[in-house]
Structures are given as structure tokens and as C-alpha cells.
Amino acid sequence: MVTIKTEEEIKKMKKAGHVNYLTHQYLKSLIKPGITTKYLNDEADKFIREHGGVPGFLHLYDYPASICISVNEEVVHGIPGDRILKEGDIVSLDIGVVIDGYHSDSAWTYPVGKISKEKEYLLHHTEKALFTGLKEIKNGAKLGNVGARIEQYAKKHNLGVVRELVGHGVGTKLHEDPDVPNYGKYNTGMTLKSGMTLAVEPMLNLGTRKIYVLDDDWTIVTQDKRPSAHFEHTIVVRDDGYEILTGE
Ligand code: MG
Ligand code: MG
């Protein structure tokens, strides 16, 4: 069931979203070669709680950490641990924050030190794909347009679109209806209405779109081991467009 949020609910989601944004900014400032992914996880956990939130992913579906950290060919759901970040890596931080029972969900991929031109290309165009898709959102628009636009943008730039994982509604639960795929056809799908809150999150690969799950049952990696990027905002549908909830 797709729910329309009241302004009161949207205010709470914005609060959760803002702490999510601040956590991203804080972690971004810590990223450098030589640190472990567990260090970033623990700093995120502390930071979120200090700002009145609870990490939204911890123990959800039995996930064992506070945030997801995926390096290079890891697409999403990487579990933080002893892995040490190296110069030239890219690292995707996917963060959930809950405040007053409302979730926010935002992911961003960051460079570790100096990265290759092709990794720069991937990061640049995956972020662009997110905002290109968001442009389709407004009251009365078809949901399929968002995925169609993202897919079209990715194809134009020769990037693989992960299809097995999709964006979603967000609210009192992290994952609500509807699904928001990063592919699709124009003028299909449900009609968006003001007050719907969605996580839009393209996951694009430098190579094949094909992925598989590692033996830890969580980490998803590209089949050809080429790098993958992930950019995600939680937004609310407005009469004339959208408003980002996981922002400043
Ligand atoms: Mg996320
Ligand atoms: Mg999400």
C-alpha cells in the first residue's frame, strides 16, 4: 500500500533525513587511505545517536552493522569490517537514520584519495543519473518515467543498470511500497501524488549489469568485478516537483 504522508510526518522525515545528510558529511571528512570500514561504521553509529537518531539498518532483516559500506566492485550491502581502504578505491556509504519512528535512506559513493579517470566517470554519471531521474517526479507524473529516464541516461553513458535492487517508498518502515526501479518505460506505472515519500537510488556499473551475492549472504558484487556506484536520496513528491529530505 502506498501512503501519502501528512506535513507533520514529512517534517519528521526531514529531521531524520537531515541527520542522515550530516552523517554523510561527517563520514566523508574521515575517508582516507588506511582506515577500516568498521571505523566508519562505528563513527556513523556514534554520530547518529549523538544527533538524536537510531541507525535504521542495524538488525533490520538481521543485518549485523549500523550502515552498509561497499567498496569498488561491491554494489550494495557490504558489511563493515577489517577491510582497509586504499588510495584509488571508491566507497559507497548507505545510511539509514530513524527519528521519532520515521526513516530516511541515503547513499553516496566517495573517492578514497586519488581515483582513476574511469572511476571518476562512474561517480559523476551515477550522481547525474539520480538527479536526471528525480526531474521526472511531480504530482500526476507516472512512476515509470523515473526509471525510464535513469536507464536511458545510463545507457547513453555506457553504464550497466542493476535491476535486481530497486528504490522504494520510505516512511515508518525503511521499505514501503511502491518499488522504484532504475529501468522502465515512459507513461507506465502508478501515478505519483503529492506527499508520497520515495527513495530513488540508481546503482550503476562500469561494466556488466550482472551481479551476485557473496557467501556472507549480504554483499552484492558485480559479476565482472568492475566498479559500481550508488547514489540515493529520500524525497517527497510535491505539486510541481520534488523536495529532497536527505539534504542540508
Ligand atoms: Mg539506502
Ligand atoms: Mg534505499
Distance from the CA of 187 to the center of ligand 2, in angstroms? 23
C-alpha 116 – ligand 2 centre gap (Å): 27
pLDDT value of position 238:
98
Is residue 85 one of the residues assigned to a domain?
yes
Distance of alpha carbon 95 from alpha carbon 93, whole angstroms = 6
Is 175 a domain residue?
yes
What is the Å distance from ligand 1's center to 56 Cα? 10
Residue 106, pLDDT score: 99
Ligand in nearest proximity to the CA of 165: 2
Number of domains in the chain: 1
What is this structure's pTM?
0.98
1 in a structural domain? no
Q: What is the pLDDT of residues 193-245, one digit of tens each?
A: 999 999 999 999 999 999 999 999 999 999 999 999 999 999 999 999 999 99
Identify the segments of the chain with pLDDT beneath 70: none
Q: What pLDDT, on the 0 to 100 scale, is given for residue 11? A: 98
**87 domain-assigned:** yes
What pLDDT does 152 receive?
A: 98
Give a yes or no: residue 2 inside a domain. no
Ligand nearest to the Cα of 56, by number: 1
Find the 233 Cα to ligand 2 centroid distance in Å. 8
As given in the structure block, the three cell numbers for residue 82 are 577489517
User: Could you tell me if 127 and 231 are in contact, meaning their C-beta atoms sit under 8 angstroms apart?
Assistant: yes
CATH code for position 170: 3.90.230.10
Contacts of residue 35, defined as CB under 8 A and 6 or more positions apart, other chains included, come to: 84, 85
For position 53, what pLDDT does the model report? 98
Considering the domain boundaries, does residue 149 fall inside one? yes
Q: How confident is the model at residue 97, as a pLDDT?
A: 98
Residues spanned by the domain of 66: 7-244
Distance 86 CA to ligand 1 centre (A): 23
Question: What is residue 36's DSSP assignment?
Answer: B
Collect all residues with Cβ–Cβ distance below 8 Å to 102 and sequence separation of at least 6: 9, 12, 13, 15, 16, 171, 172
DSSP 59: T
What protein residues have CB closer than 5 angstroms to ion ligand 2?
Answer: 105, 199
User: Residue 104 C-alpha to ligand 1 middle, in angstroms?
Assistant: 8
Domain presence at residue 192: yes
